[in-house]
Structure formats: C-alpha cells, structure tokens
Amino acid sequence: MIKRCYYEILEVERSADQETIKKAYRRMALQYHPDRNPDDAEAEDRFKEAAEAYEVLRDPEKRRLYDAYGHDGLKSSGFQGFSGMGDIFGAFGDIFEGLFNGFTGGHPGRSSGPRPGRDLRYDLELTLEQIATGHSETITIGREASCPECNGTGQAGGEEPVVCQVCGGQGQVARAQGLFRVVTTCPQCRGEGRVVTDPCSNCRGRGRVREEKEISVQIPAGIAHGQRLRMRSEGEGGYQGGGPGDLYVVIHEVPHQVFERQGKDLYRRQEVSMFQAALGQEVAVESLVDGPQPLSIPAGSDTGEVVRIKGLGLPGLRGERRGDMYVQLLVRTPRKLNKRQRELMEELAALGDAEAAPAPEEQAAAKPRKKKKRGIFSK
C-alpha cells in the first residue's frame, strides 16, 4: 500500500510548528477514535495513519529525515511505526486523556514493569546474481538501545527507580466520575510505575540512547522477493529491563536487464541468425552465473520458440535442485548482404519454394508444428 504524505494526513503545511501539528493530531484522533467509531475499519485505519504521522512530525530528527528523503529515509533509519492500538495509546496517553476527560475506552496507557522493545524493519535490495549465489551484507541501522551507563533504568549508577507514590507502582490512577470509575495514566510517573529521582547523565533519565549499529546479514541463495529474515534481539532495546525487539530484513529483488525470474526458473531472449535457425546449429548463450553455455537450436526454428537448458536456474532455499533456464529465440534477418551472400540468397530463391514444398497429399496429412511457449514467454 502506498503511504500518504504525513502533512497531508494531518492537513497541515510543511512549515507548521509543533503546536499546530499537535492540535491537528488531536482533531484527527478525536474524529477517528475507536470509541467514537466502533467496528469501523476505515476509521481505525485513519486513526493509525494519523498516529504514525504525528509520531514522525513531532520528533525533530524523524521529521528532518522525512522532509529530506520521504518514507524511504525513515525506513533506512529503522522506523517501523506502531505495532497496534495499545502501542498508540501507550505513546500518546496524555493526549487521549485530554480528549476524553480521562476516559480511555478500554485502552490503558503504558503498563508498568519491563516491556520488550519494538521490532524494526530494514529493506535490502539484492541483484539476481546475489540471490543466485547467496550474499553477505553489512547494514547499518539506527535504533533506541538501553543506556549502557544505567542498564536502562534511567537512574544514576544503574539503581532501580523508586516506586511512584501517587499510583503505588501501577502506572494508573482511578477516580470516581459520576456513575463511572475512570482510570487514567498516572500524571506523576506517566504510566511507568517508577520515578527517576537521580537521572543518569548519559541518557538524562530516559534509560535509552540513540545508536547506530552495523549488523552482518547472511542471505541464503534462492531467496525470493518479499521474503524477510528475522534477526533476533537486533531491534530496539526494551523498557525497564525488558528484552530487545527483533530486526526484520525484507528482501527486494532488483529487476535484471537480461533475465526474468519465475520461481527457480530463469528466462531470457537470444538473437540467432536465420541461417542458424534454419540449419539448427549450436551457439553460445550467456547464463546468469555459470558463464557462456552451449545452446542447441532445433533445425527450422522460428522466432518465439523456446529452448530449455536444465540446471541453469536458481537454487532452492531448502536444498532442492536448481531450476532451469529457458531461452526464447529471436530469429534475425540480415539487413545488409555482401556480394557473395547475395548471390547465394538469389540462388536459393531461384530454386523456389515449390521444390521444398510437400506433395498435396503429404501436406494434408502433416500436422502443424506447435511453438513451445512457457512461463513469461506465453504472456
């Protein structure tokens, strides 16, 4: 699905300041909130879309990347968006409390205690040659990691933050409002259940720092476009001692100038002369990674006929045999002839088609020759 412009989603100008962007998001969140649009899939999608737009535009670094490189710039930095509704309400609990006077509609804010970090996505482009042989790639991702100075606690020296006195470590407070019991995110600890009293100087009490990390990715031969590799524990660091998320490397196959792929099989076209096609000769054809290979042309071949060479396709991911290579013949008629070639062609023409034509009774009995068309060549 093509992503829309974040500024267009929030209906703000590119020059909008933070306060304008926040007000625009509050308006969108109020309009498409799930509690106001029960069982409305479209409203839910718009709600998630607005949350992602606000997450990017409220962060100066993410906004800078987006303004410079668009959605691709965010992908390369490891930004993946929200994993679900709970993630959105956890991130913007203060906004939703303001919208609904504390009523969260069954969507609580951040839960206290350890929480795993977010999974990240990295889009990796590979050539067909790299896919055929397998490939090793070192990628660099930007991510939020647990602070090494405080072990992710946010407290100087790695000490545990103190239990919040307002919510008793629950991360939420409840109060009576008419006939309802309203549960809201604790204003003191903002849903964490713990309060940092002596902030770590390295992360300023956040427990997390931004880092760039190089990761070696081993791509197996035969992987397909759209498949992904899971790199365990290479995502963002967890919260309050929670484990890290995972990194998913999504493969994108770069279109090849000569070969087209269909599963494990490869397809290409090959020009041959009219003489080679008529006589049925052997020519050399370039394979993807095995160098030039002999191709036996059946005598009397026409343009469009396909010849298979076994075992010159791609390997299977699970150790299956390699696919095949299919070569479609393109018979080339010479545009210029030298004197001798012209004499021979005229001599052949003088013989006439009648001598080569079968007798009427033979012609009636003969079956028409079918052209072989396979895979992409049948399109």
β-sheet bridge partners, residue 306: 328
CA distance 24 to 8: 11
Per the CB < 8 A criterion, the answer to whether 131 and 221 are in contact is yes
φ/ψ of residue 188, rounded to 5: -80, -50
What type of residue sits at position 30?
L
The residue among 243, 254, 369 whose CA lies nearest residue 301 is: 369
CA distance 319 to 72: 34
Question: What's the token pair of residue 71?
Answer: 């959605």
Q: Coil, strand or helix: which one is 39?
A: coil
What type of residue sits at position 137?
E
Per the CB < 8 A criterion, the answer to whether 224 and 128 are in contact is no
Per the CB < 8 A criterion, the answer to whether 277 and 300 are in contact is yes
CA distance 176 to 157: 40
Q: Is 5 annotated as a binding residue?
A: no
φ/ψ of residue 16, rounded to 5: -60, 140
CA distance 339 to 273: 18
Residue 301 CB contacts under 8 Å (≥ 6 apart), including other chains: 272, 277, 280, 329, 331
Element (H, E) at 66: helix 60-76
User: Which positions make up the binding site?
Assistant: 147, 150, 164, 167, 186, 189, 200, 203
**Which residue numbers belong to the known binding site for Zn(2+)?**
147, 150, 164, 167, 186, 189, 200, 203
